[in-house]
Amino acid sequence: MEAFNPSMTIPFSYTFTSTSSGSTTSHTITSPWMDPRIWSKLPSRLLDRVLTFLPPPAFFRARCVCKRWYALLFSNTFLELYIQVSPRHHWFLFFKHKTLKSYIYRNNNSNSNNDGTSETRATAFEGYLFDPCDVTWYRISFPLIPSGFSPASSSGGLICLISDEAGAKTLILCNPLIGTLTQLPPTLRPRLFPSIGLKISPSSIDVSVAGDDLISPYAVKNLSTESFHIDAGGFYSLWGTNSSLPRLCSLESGRMICVQSKFYCMNYSPFSVLSYDISSNTWINIQAPMRRFLRSPSLVENQGKLVLVAAVEKSKLNVPKSLRLWGLQSCGTAWVEIERMPQQLYLQFTELEAGNGFESVGHGEFIVIMIRGSDKALLFDIFMKRWQWIPPCPYVHGCNGGGGGYGGDGELHGFAYEPRIATPVTALLDQLTLPFQSFSG
């Protein structure tokens, strides 16, 4: 594949395909309030304000109405208004999960030629948007993503993708809605499967890459962090900030989330939580609640707070097995239980899970709990205290023939995602004069 421009600014519109509860929804609106005699006289500035409040799928459908609406993505005036008044949408974006085996054994991704050489087989890259308010799935394609990259983190309407091959890592920031790609300079240290932390604010970009730096020749984990920062004030650090993780930690989750100005990730054997303070460039180890009895723990963000979701198996002490949520207190070291799955629902959940484990991802007031190796998932509204089963994503259901579930590489891996049609902070990267590494697929 040819090298691409590090910052592509031309928007690319996408077609959203949506379903609700497993069937295609109709978007036909018949209402006396939509009288064209009224709407045709609406001032353009007021009409633009109305359009900024549309959810992304409705906005992209509306662009088919006329040339002016189609050109809104190219209008600086409209995009400035959009940034100011558009409401936040606490959605989720799911991808088919790549297993460790698929990284190492690539026979399924290549074809052998007659001369004995192999060629990479192009595969369509797509994601699945989930709207927890309407319980609706949307499919969205990524035609410009180069091969050999996988999603690793998300923040501020952007998805961070990382190169799969071991060595110096290349990262791409992608806006899924408009198709823009922005490449970061490659990391300085070689790595295998690092965890990625991403924080996007209106005026800055922070990225942290943590994991084994492949330096030790004795198969001993040498865990370290290198960070990237750039802001509107003109300060930047291109992977020049380094730090070591706490001793005896085992960073294996591959997932890092941002809560306020800190990155958090799970540590194993025994379970604990690793916290990285961006401003002070320091790591600390936080003891997890009931750490010796947890199963499938996950960290999620909820309204600016860190929440730990895990199953508890402590039956020997006459404590019922359950799935619980704990919130990290303001002191930064203590946990308080904030919710517990109803016991009858938990019994149904464990029967479906069958010991395969589960993964949790949170955004706003919502938490999605997905059972590994299946298409079963629960949605929890932490404000309404409401649990409900999510209809399976219709675009991947049964795609691998594994008894109706996703199975294998079809298993979904989710990220908190706030859909935005404008992410102007990526323009800061255009100020960098250092040459970027080009790559080929």
In this predicted model, what pLDDT tens digit does every residue of 119-170 receive, in sequence order? Answer: 444 456 889 999 999 999 999 888 788 888 999 999 999 999 999 888 899 9
At 33, the pLDDT band (50, 70, 90 cuts) reads low
Same domain membership, residue 382 and residue 300: yes
At 440, the pLDDT band (50, 70, 90 cuts) reads very low
Same domain membership, residue 111 and residue 36: no
- On whether residue 266 sits in a domain, the answer given is yes
The distance of Cα 42 from the centroid of its chain, to the nearest Å, equals 38
Most confidently modeled of 35-39, 204-208, 315-319? 204-208
Q: Which of 85, 100, 120 is the last residue of a domain?
A: 85
Rounded CA-CA distance 219/106 in Å is 23
79 close to 427: Cβ distance less than 8 angstroms: no
Comparing 425 with 218, the larger pLDDT belongs to: 425
The pTM for the full model equals 0.81
Q: Most distant CA pair in the chain: distance in Å?
A: 77
Taking residue 373's Cβ as centre, other Cβ atoms within 10 Å add up to 19
The mean pLDDT value for 234-256 works out to: 80
Same domain membership, residue 79 and residue 143: no
Return the CATH number at 418.
2.120.10.80
Integer-rounded Cα Rg, in Å, for the chain is: 23
Same domain membership, residue 214 and residue 269: yes
Same domain membership, residue 154 and residue 228: yes
pLDDT at 352 over 90: yes
Dihedral sign (CA 349, 351, 353, 357): positive
The mean pLDDT value for 246-265 works out to: 82
Taking residue 385's Cβ as centre, other Cβ atoms within 10 Å add up to 9
Rounded CA-CA distance 438/173 in Å is 15
Please state, rounded to an integer, the average pLDDT across all residues of the chain: 80
The mean pLDDT value for 200-220 works out to: 80
Tokens 């723990």, residue?
A: 297
Same domain membership, residue 79 and residue 102: no
Same domain membership, residue 235 and residue 175: yes
Rounded CA-CA distance 240/41 in Å is 56
- On whether residue 25 sits in a domain, the answer given is no
- On whether residue 226 sits in a domain, the answer given is yes
Which residue type occupies 258?
C
User: Which residues sit opposite 381 in a β-bridge?
Assistant: 366, 386
Question: Would you give the DSSP letter of residue 206?
Answer: E
Tens digit of each residue's pLDDT (9 = 90 or more) over 371-411:
998 889 999 999 999 999 999 999 886 544 333 444 444 57
- On whether residue 195 sits in a domain, the answer given is yes
- Which two structure tokens, joined as six digits, stand for 410? 């079809």
155 close to 198: Cβ distance less than 8 angstroms: yes
At 315, the pLDDT band (50, 70, 90 cuts) reads low
Closest CA to 196 of 230, 231, 155: 155
Same domain membership, residue 70 and residue 157: no
**Full domain range(s) for residue 66:** 31-85
The total number of structural domains that make up the chain: 2
User: What is residue 14's predicted lDDT score, i.e. its pLDDT?
Assistant: 44
CA distances from 144 to 127, 147, 176, 186, 229 (A): 13, 9, 10, 19, 25
Same domain membership, residue 320 and residue 261: yes
Same domain membership, residue 369 and residue 241: yes
Closest CA to 372 of 420, 311, 324: 311
CA distances from 107 to 110, 112, 125, 371, 431 (A): 6, 9, 18, 28, 41
The mean pLDDT value for 8-36 works out to: 51
